[in-house]
Structure 1
Amino acid sequence: MLPVKITKMSGAGNTFAFVDGRGASGWKDVEKHLGKSRTEIAKLVCDRVLGIATDGFIVIEDPSEGFDFNWDFYNSDGSTAEMCGNAARCAARYCYEHIGNKEHANIRFKTGAGLVTAQILGNGKIRVKMPEARVLKNPIELETRSSVKEKFILVNTGVPHLVQKIHAFVDSVNLKDLAREMRAHESLKPAGANVTFYAEDEAGKVRAVTFERGVEDYTLACGTGAVAAALASSLENHLKVIEVQMPGGVMEVNFFDGDPKPLLVGDAVFVGDFQYNLEVVR
């Protein structure tokens, strides 16, 4: 049963480890043999030293009725998340090229946030129809431990995000401690929220970075964070197409009148296939 084949992928620098967990793959026998929960396995696989250094771990499973695949998603700390836009793009290409039917370029996933559909565009580009993007509170004012009041927009783009516009993107370097504090603010318990900062370069183009729950740091990219930044910018500028530059790459977000579910377009890249021995599990 060992080693386990794990595929590492990158979506704009956001990295994920994929396992084929369908019934025919034998993955469930591996899990039984290891005697570890998926939370524990996810932490090992994502580890920077004993794993393959990824931001997340995803098990692709046999579909429920009406879907092509189910997925079970874990952050690098073993926590779960309802949705991840970059993971959805990577999952779509993984399933299309590794375990799916290449005659069908449209893939329907069952996720914690419900149905997510993806379309293979070619040249490594994937278009994902994201969950409904909703403004939960605008503005929301949160007080820091030093009694400073910070204003954000609280949105949900599949997962909750606190979004704040900043004067210049370089300012985000000095805002990491604020993001870490706000991510687990008393007003947002128990789940907390990701924290996304964005700055406008010009109309329709923004730079953004997200402090993600479960990773507990800035990541190179965050699909739901890109949508969150684009939503905030769209509300201010009344634009329907927003280009979002994150540290790991560029994504495009499209909003449509009458449809609360935006489209997210970006890359999905195969990094490599690994034969992971899991000898660290004892």
Structure 2
Amino acid sequence: MNPLLPVRITKMSGAGNTFAFIDGRGRTDWKKIESELGKSRAEIAQLVCDRVLGLATDGFIIIEDPSEGYDFNWDFYNSDGSTAEMCGNAARCAARYCYEQLDEKEISNIRFKTGAGLVSAQILGNGKIRVKMPEARVIQNPIELETKSSSKEKFVLVNTGVPHLVQKIHEFVDSVNLKDLAREMRNHEDLKPAGANVTFFAEDVPGKIKAVTFERGVEDYTLACGTGAVAAAFVSSLENSLNEIEVQMPGGVMEVHFFANDAKPLLVGDAVFVGDFQYSSEAVK
């Protein structure tokens, strides 16, 4: 019988955005197992996120011992093995994972070191987590990008921890037919080398929008995107001068709160445990 590796991988969902977590702190066996696998973290991320040989997740996060001034460090990977500075849904899931799975229940306010700097999260109870996001800022408004068909599309380019091209559309259903445009814009020549996520949103009524994000590293629409929800809400708030926006994404609802004296918005939403998984040594050869 092929033995199971002594590393537990936990799958979680934040509004339908799914992530796999490993406790990679020094007190665990992870460093030893990682060394024995002989794979890069990008390769491990691709395996863990795989829809056949993995957990079919959008991202992979290793929780590590903290740097000074933080509670935890995280090392984040998209499903294709690429890295990302920040993910709001992952931050909510990471907070609940650390709070409930890593024996840190005395810490209800958790400070993570991420590629985008400090991200803090607060456990609200009932599976709800509030995350203080990185500064939301406009990079260019508008930005006009030429398509392969020589037409031009207008977006607002914002950064909410990662870059997003945001476009308001008339009806949310129109986003179905805009996926090819999103795929093209994500790698647009004017945005190289990093590219950008592409987020479309439609307004139901002031303060309530529907949004979807085409994410770098996943290369498709995802059920939810925390930085995308903030990006769409940010552009909507600039139009309507509103401080609180409800964002409905395909996987669930989030709330985004803005403050006149603080450029860092709050993102509130759920974080759900899906299950635990262990690999056999045969599957990771």
Quick check: TM above 0.5?
yes
2:60–2:77: 8 Å Cα contact kept in structure 1?
yes
Structure 1 stretches (4+) deviating beyond 4 angstroms? none
- Deviation of 1:2 (Å): 1.2
Match of 1:12 in 2: 15
Residue 172 of structure 2 is aligned to residue 150 of structure 1? no
Residue 208 of structure 2 is aligned to residue 205 of structure 1? yes
Residue 44 of structure 2 is aligned to residue 21 of structure 1? no
1:3–1:277: 8 Å Cα contact kept in structure 2?
no
2:248 to 245, 248, 253: 245
Residue 78 of structure 2 is aligned to residue 66 of structure 1? no
Residue 45 of structure 2 is aligned to residue 42 of structure 1? yes
Q: Deviations over 1:64-92 (max 9, x none)?
A: 00000000000000000000000000000
Match of 1:270 in 2: 273
Match of 2:233 in 1: 230
CA distance in 2, matches of 1:129, 1:279: 41
Structure 1 gap ranges (5+): none
- Deviation of 1:281 (Å): 2.6
Alignment of 1:10-159 (within 5 A): 10-159=13-162
Amino acid at match of 1:40: E
- Deviation of 1:156 (Å): 0.2
Q: Deviations over 1:124-167 (max 9, x none)?
A: 00000000000000000000000010000000000000000000
1:185 to 185, 188, 192: 188
Aligned residues: 282
- Deviation of 1:26 (Å): 1.2
Match of 2:170 in 1: 167
Match of 1:2 in 2: 5
1:61–1:70: 8 Å Cα contact kept in structure 2?
yes
CA distance in 1, matches of 2:107, 2:165: 36
Indicate how the Cα distance of structure 1 residues 100 and 138 shifts in structure 2: closer, same or farther if over 3 A, else same.
farther
Q: Deviations over 1:42-79 (max 9, x none)?
A: 00000000101100000000000000000000000000
Structure 2 gap ranges (5+): none
- Describe the SS at the equivalent of 1:4: coil
Indicate how the Cα distance of structure 1 residues 209 and 265 shifts in structure 2: closer, same or farther if over 3 A, else same.
same
1:4–1:277: 8 Å Cα contact kept in structure 2?
no
2:7–2:29: 8 Å Cα contact kept in structure 1?
no
Q: TM-score, normalised by structure 1?
A: 0.99
Q: TM-score, normalised by structure 2?
A: 0.98
1:14–1:55: 8 Å Cα contact kept in structure 2?
yes
2:20–2:60: 8 Å Cα contact kept in structure 1?
yes
* Identical positions, percent: 83
Q: Deviations over 1:199-239 (max 9, x none)?
A: 00001000000000000000000000000000000000000
Instruction: Provide the aligned C-alpha RMSD in A.
Output: 0.8
CA distance in 1, matches of 2:82, 2:190: 20
